[in-house]
Amino acid sequence: MQEPPDAANLLATARAVMLDRILPALPPVLQLDARMVVRAMEVAARLGVDAATSQCAPGLAAGIRAGLHDHAATLAALRADARARLVVSNPRALRE
């Protein structure tokens, strides 16, 4: 029995094909569009891998307003959530 395909691997393979084979064959007027597709694939791959890392619960804001959360623990959770979101949306910001 075959294993189901892994979404991250499929996106990585499609990205490589786009960059290595399709992009060089395109006329210059279409290359920017192809690079935008590649970026979308990268974001989609990160979303699939990192979407589950968010630490914030849906009712966190209401709990903070109600004073139900410890300051240090809340700050740690918010930082972890911000980091998880940056990994998906702008991983370069984490390297700066």
- Tell me: the pLDDT tens digits for 82-93? 888 787 777 788
Q: Are residues 6 and 47 in the same domain?
A: yes
Q: Are residues 1 and 25 in the same domain?
A: yes
Q: Are residues 31 and 72 in the same domain?
A: no
Tens digit of each residue's pLDDT (9 = 90 or more) over 31-84: 999 999 998 888 877 776 555 445 555 677 777 777 777 778 778 878 887 888
Residue ending a domain, among 21, 37, 53, is 53
Q: Are residues 42 and 62 in the same domain?
A: no
Helical H runs in 1-96?
A: 7-17, 23-25, 28-50, 60-65, 71-89, 92-95
Structure-model confidence comparison of residues 14 and 88, the more confident one: 14
Q: Are residues 43 and 61 in the same domain?
A: no
Q: Are residues 91 and 58 in the same domain?
A: yes
Total number of domains in the chain: 2
Structure-model confidence comparison of residues 42 and 17, the more confident one: 17
Q: Are residues 47 and 63 in the same domain?
A: no
Domain extent, residue 43, equals 1-53
Q: Which residues contact 89 (CB under 8 A, 6 or more apart)?
A: 43
